[in-house]
Chain A
Amino acid sequence: MTALIALLLACGPKTPVEPVVPAGPQLAATPPTPGAPRDFAPPAPTILTLSSGAQVWLVENDSLPLFSLRIIVPGGEAADGSTPGLTSFADEMLTHGAGTRDAPAYAAAAEALAIDLGATTQDTSTTLWIDAHSDQLIPALDLLADAVMKPRFDKDEVDRVRDVRLGELTVALDSPRSVAGQVADRVYYGEGHPLAGPRSGTPDSIEKLTAKKLKASWALRRDATTPTFIVVGAVDAETLLPALDARFGKWSGGATDIGLPAPTGTVAGTRMVFVDAPGSSQTVLQVRLPAPDLTADEATLSGARLATTVLGGTFTSRLNRKLREEEGYTYGAWAGFYPQDGFGEVIASTQVQRDVTAPALRDLLAELRRIQDGVTEDELTKARGSRRTDLIDGSGSRDGLADMYAGLATQGQEPGAFAARLAAEAQVDPAAALASYQLAVLDHAAVIVVGDLSVIRGPVEEAVPGTWQVLDVWGAPAK
């Protein structure tokens, strides 16, 4: 221990007594030009089929004794109906007691074997997941099978989780970024839209959810689908297939239509909204715009993906360069493209210093207009490289690769879609990117500004004239 302490304290002078070495060869004055990249495609899964007809996408990788499993169940927040939070609450309850185990016993069984598992609610699906040591494959599948087929929804536990969720809803209101997201959902998607949320519910909606309603929500979605299984890791098909068949082989419900209606919140025109966050030293800006949906052809989607990457997908993107590196307004700005089955959207967001809210919003909107004028070939090259690197990075871990393939399955796409995307993106030129980026900028956008209105409201209304509404943290008219 003494030696170890000495080592710890010795950090600093590495070799202080050696003489200075005169500078030798100089660093080349210009950077080297990289050669050709090595061919790459994400490891392709083997497609297996359970006796139910369900597909299993398996990528075997035994370099470490780990595995990740994902099961895609259509529905998601879109299945909430008129009760925000129904799906996410029901999904959370799946691992709070199942089969013969109540909630503490279930947690103890999983945690004793270091089996991470749970259910994550997304827009149009729920992902059931396991990340664990490959030696724990069978007990992990047993636990997940209980969660899927025999969730208990014990009343006491439902009440307990409800209390926690109510607390979490309260805490979320402390975050201007969370508030901006949930208000943007309601404003952009419009009243009554399946994704108008909030996904985690409201205090009123959560209070009304009973164990019976939660149980029915899960059973309805489970029984309506034949799920897709994604498995990546140190698991072989000979072990996996019978193990899955024994536990999930009868799980079959046919195909589920996950199509969504188009958002209605901004059909009549752009909506600009303030939400007050008294005392906030920063302002959250979020803009949502309509974009191509999954029914568009691959060339169009590729163009939109690349153009959005140019807009806000990397550190040197236009938004981050302007708002952070040139103006110093923010710690970061980004944009993402989210195509769904039925509609697509682009979301651009940043948090800026309170006193520069007005010029920052003006600049953000200006960049959203400027992208409509087109992108350069250099920008496209950079965007292609970034997207290819994202695929390589994602392939570097079992959970990363499982999540990538789960994303494809959620969108109803085939495992080979990544290679097809890379090929399609290679063909996108500036004209094609421009043509595919059919954003009705500011004509049908939602512009959300969450900050201290006593400071920012006047300057913002002056900088961006128009009709501004003031809403509360839930997206309802402020009192």
Chain B
Amino acid sequence: MFLLLSAALASPAQAADLSLPHERYQLDNGLTVILHHDDSLPQVVVDTWYDVGSQNEVAGRTGFAHLFEHLMFMGTTRLPGSGFDDLMEQSGGWNNAWTSEDATNYYDVGPSHILELLLWMEADRMEGLDGAMTQEKLDLQRDVVRNERRQSVEDAPYGEAWEALNGAMYPADHPYAHPVIGSHEDLQAATVEDVVAFFQKYYVPTNASLVVAGDFDPVAVKALIEQTLGTVPRPPDMVVGSVVPDPVDLPVTPMLELTDEVQLPATMLTWHSPKVLTSGDAAMDVVASILGEGRSSRLYSALLHEQGLVTEVQAYQMSQELGSLFQVFALATSPDDDLEAIEAAVQAELDRLAQDGPTEEELTRTRNQLELHFLRELEDLNSRAENLNRYLHLTGEADYVAQDLQRYRDLTPDDIKAAAAMLSTARRQTTRIYPAPDSEGGEDDAGDDTGAEGGAQ
């Protein structure tokens, strides 16, 4: 198979050529630093990764990791108020951040001449955010986050289904049992003391890594980093450690039937699947592609083109550290459509893939699409910076791009077949969403949990 696939994409950028050149070292305070030099544009990216996400939240504080991410932009003693964003933008830079179940990532992007300023600002908030935290800041960002929740979940079509997903898939004591954005009730309960304790535990050099990417002097930059991030004190030794839950294979609530403010019914089928970068994870990506990527995919061809059962159908592997989810989402064509018929059609396609395996054409297509995806990930400086941090976090190696792609190149038809067979026979979770006949909606009717990855700005 692989000879065939290699011949199909005789590209000048084979996996062995893909790399993220970098220099990696550690400061005395424990902060890992990765330098990635590229002066093709007068641009720099400072990407700071903290090993903390919603999986680290304690009971009664769902959504806190993401709320905290917002508070990182609320000023310090040296740079109070909105100084972080003001100074960033006055200098031509911009920034943003995201929080997932597994990590929190901050990135600053700007013209290369402001690199020292970006480093100073990251050092400033890593060193002293807690000293300037106030109830007023917390209250304000709590309101912003609750609005984000309303916008991204409560008023988003089919948001109710995403809100219910984590609780349906994981037992209550699992770190993924609640979604990143948290509940209104828990967000309201957060205190300034919570913020300070969270900062002092997780926002320390020993729990972070810094990527500086772009147009900089490879020698001078080390002095700049030492003068800025290097001044952040090393914290007292403490075990930050992530919780390692027991593996979860079965959904907690196999069937959910919900109503939402939508016009068309939809069904969401979800399976537990292999963790990110572990055996089976890449095969699940390929199964998702064969089933749902593009108009020549199996689900599009069968359910939409041939049978006219759906308006839209997607499949994806959501890879995460403590356990992944594989999902198929299908949107019906009219309010009275039979969701069971759609689910049966999805199952039939899964069964067929499990029985017969992929065709040569499907493997060629998927491989080519993956190769292109990897190339495009290497194109953007910001993406390269984030990937260096992500790979470091997941594997201990910052440049893992060639190995990552090789996982897909090493797949055999039997691997794909086995992954499909697992989905075909494993117990899945089914969430059906029906149009609400007459709903008031809004946060009062929303559950305590909601599913979304949070971004601050």
Contact = CB atoms under 8 A, between A and B. Distances in A.
A, B from the same assembly: yes
A240 B141 CA distance: 52
Contacts of A452: 441-442
A255 interface: no
Interface residues of B, number: 126
B197 interface: no
A114 B294 CA distance: 10
Interface residues of A, number: 96
Interface string A391-417: 011011110000000000000000000
Contacts of B157: 171, 174-175
A180 to B, nearest CB: 12
A23 B123 CA distance: 13
Interface in B25-50: 28-30, 32, 40-43
A7 interface: yes
A20 B312 contact: no
Interface centre among B9, B278, B331, B376 (most CB of A within 10 A): B376
B338 to A, nearest CB: 16
Contact of B92 (A168, A176, A282, A385): A385
A235 interface: no
Contacts of B234: 18, 20-21
Contacts of B212: none
B123 A27 contact: yes
A108 B304 CA distance: 15
Contacts of A23: 231, 233
B264 to A, nearest CB: 6
A65 B13 contact: yes
B28 to A, nearest CB: 5
Given A164-B304, A396-B43, A282 B147 contact: yes
A98 B333 CA distance: 26
A152 to B, nearest CB: 15
A268 interface: no
Of A27, A63, A280, A325, which is in contact with the most chain B CB atoms at under 10 Å from its CB?
A27
A163 B29 CA distance: 61
**Most chain A Cβ neighbours within 10 Å, of B142, B261, B279, B371:** B261
A393 B90 contact: no
A25 B28 contact: no
A22 B395 CA distance: 30
Interface stretch (A29-37, A245-253, A365-373): A29-37
B365 A16 contact: no
Interface stretch (A77-85, A327-335, A437-445): A327-335
A135 interface: yes
Contacts of A176: 155
Nearest to B12: A65
A479 interface: no
Interface in B406-445: 436, 439-443, 445
Given A35-B113, A64-B379, A171 B230 contact: no
Interface stretch (B78-86, B161-169, B187-195, B345-353): B78-86
Listed residue (A173, A279, A353) with the most chain B CB atoms within 10 angstroms of its CB: A279
B47 to A, nearest CB: 15
A316 B32 CA distance: 31
A389 B108 CA distance: 12
Interface in A312-344: 314-316, 321, 324-325, 328-332
Contacts of B148: 331
Nearest to B32: A14
Given A171-B264, A389-B93, A392-B42, A24 B231 contact: yes
Interface in A1-58: 1, 4-5, 7-9, 11-40
A65 B11 contact: yes
B104 interface: no
Contact of B30 (A18, A25, A281): A18
28 contacts: A16-B239, A20-B235, A21-B234, A22-B233, A37-B111, A37-B113, A38-B112, A64-B375, A66-B375, A66-B376, A104-B295, A107-B294, A107-B296, A112-B365, A171-B262, A280-B261, A314-B89, A314-B94, A321-B82, A328-B143, A328-B147, A331-B144, A331-B148, A331-B151, A351-B147, A353-B147, A389-B93, A397-B380
6 residue pairs, one from A and one from B, having the closest CB atoms: A279-B441, A385-B92, A328-B143, A167-B311, A107-B295, A38-B42
Interface of B: 8-13, 28-30, 32, 40-43, 51, 78-79, 82, 85-87, 89-95, 102, 109-114, 116-117, 120-121, 123-124, 127, 139-144, 146-148, 150-152, 154-157, 206-207, 215, 227-228, 230-242, 244, 261-264, 275-279, 293-296, 301, 304-305, 308, 311-312, 321, 331, 333, 361, 364-365, 368-369, 371-372, 375-376, 378-382, 393-396, 436, 439-443, 445-446, 457
Interface of A: 1, 4-5, 7-9, 11-40, 63-66, 103-104, 107-108, 111-114, 132-133, 135, 160, 163-164, 167-168, 170-171, 173-176, 278-282, 314-316, 321, 324-325, 328-332, 351-354, 378, 381-382, 385-386, 388-389, 392-393, 395-398, 452
